[in-house]
Amino acid sequence: MRMIRAAVAGASGYAGGEIVRLLLGHPDMSVGALAAASNAGTRLGVIHPHLTPLADRVLVETTPETLAGHQVVFLALPHGASAAIVDQLADDVIVIDCGADFRLADAQQWQRFYGSSHAGTWPYGLPEMPLPRGHKGREALSGARRIAVPGCYPTACTIALGPGFVGGVLEAADVVIVAASGTSGAGKSLKPHLLGSETMSSMSPYGVGGTHRHTPEIEQNLSAAAAQPVTVSFTPTLAPMPRGILATCTARVKPGVSAATVRAAWEAAYRDEPFVHLLPQGQWPRTADVLGSNNVHLQVALDERTGRVVAVTAVDNLTKGTAGAAVQCANLALGLPEITGLPTVGVAP
């Protein structure tokens, strides 16, 4: 089989660098053009010293010309920047967008949370997303030429609660999610509140009061799982770690639902998923255990006193939360085995 050439736009950022890392270990894809904006003309090794095999590669400008001639183009660009590039790429090129531009189906929600015109909606790149029978998830990605990679928080939250809605054990109202993310989730641009002296030994909330941009995406996904509108109170927090997400998600159970029924719903949803691991009862997810892998660690319990399910997920926001999902979707679009080139073993300690 001929190697598939893949370009990465936004290769100087955290997500773009992680895509390159995964492509270096992919047996069927080779790294083509590495594009950037302000960092164009810089050696990759100056920005990502850990990517040793490509350290001498020079970043090129992000233009349709530099991205042409590749079978796959990964876009790791700021929100709102992908649409203009995509319009100038050939229809037969597989484009995997890690930004938010094409995730939302509701144009009004996009305009409300992102403040610009809605570019459209692409197949949603979460193969493991629980959906009611008859709805396409993974099938819609097979052979697709345009795929929108989910946000990192929506990945963790959807996988956490989706089985309860598909299984009919959760109420659609009063869903509450509090999730902690490492600082890499905010990108690589210099920001005073992300300085080491500001984040070390400190946690802080942000996007409080339903203002975080991932809120409508989480609601969109859980509503699809429930086949009815689901509203979510979502509060993200910044944790003093470089990467990782720990999402604690709760929802009311329907009357008469037992702990055994809850467990069975989650087991049924993920029994055959290569990257989602429902942990043995009593063992809870930790961000350290998924570091550098495309895995999701998950645990679920029923708080019988309050009548709420508590589902906790841990993901690496840069791997399964972004770049790993992008490569996973590219594999499906190309007709390759879904797990190709994706790490299923974390790094410890």
* CA-based max dimension of the chain: 63
Q: Kindly state the tokens that stand for 192.
A: 């005073």
Catalytic residue selected from 152, 157, 249, 329:
152
In terms of phi and psi (left: phi > 0; alpha: psi -120 to 50; beta: otherwise), the region of 256 is left
Q: Which of 238, 76, 51 is nearest to 153 (CA)?
A: 238
Could you tell me which residues are beta bridge partners of residue 30?
Answer: 5
Where in the chain are all domains bearing CATH 3.30.360.10? 153-315
Q: How far apart are CA 247 and CA 314, in angstroms?
A: 7
3-state helix, strand, coil in the chain (%, to 5): 30, 20, 50
Query: Residue 192 gets which letter from DSSP?
Result: G
Q: Kindly state the tokens that stand for 176.
A: 């509450």
In this structure, are residues 179 and 312 in contact, taking their beta carbons and an 8 Å threshold?
Answer: no
Q: How far apart are CA 63 and CA 127, in angstroms?
A: 30
Residue 1: what pLDDT? 61
pTM of the model: 0.95
Kindly write down the DSSP assignment for every residue of 264-301, as one continuous string. HHHHHHHTT-SSEEEPPTT----GGGGTTSS-EEEEEE
Whole-angstrom CA distances from 255 to 250, 274, 299, 309, 338 are 16, 32, 22, 12, 38
User: Any idea which architecture 153-315 has in CATH?
Assistant: 2-Layer Sandwich (3.30)
Q: Cis ω on the peptide bond leading into residue 255 (within 30° of 0)?
A: no
Residue 190: what pLDDT? 65
Residue 208: what pLDDT? 94
Where in the chain are all domains bearing CATH 3.40.50.720? 4-122
157 is catalytic: no
Kindly write down the DSSP assignment for every residue of 194-244, as one continuous string. GSHHHHTT--EE-STTTTSTTHHHHHHHHHHHHTS---EEEEEEE-SSSS-
Q: Supply the CATH classification number for the domain 4-122.
A: 3.40.50.720
Mean pLDDT by 10 residues, the chain (349 residues): 92 97 98 96 97 98 95 95 92 96 96 93 97 88 97 98 97 97 78 76 91 96 97 96 96 97 97 97 97 98 97 98 98 97 93
Q: Kindly state the tokens that stand for 139.
A: 């099938």
Residue 198: what pLDDT? 79
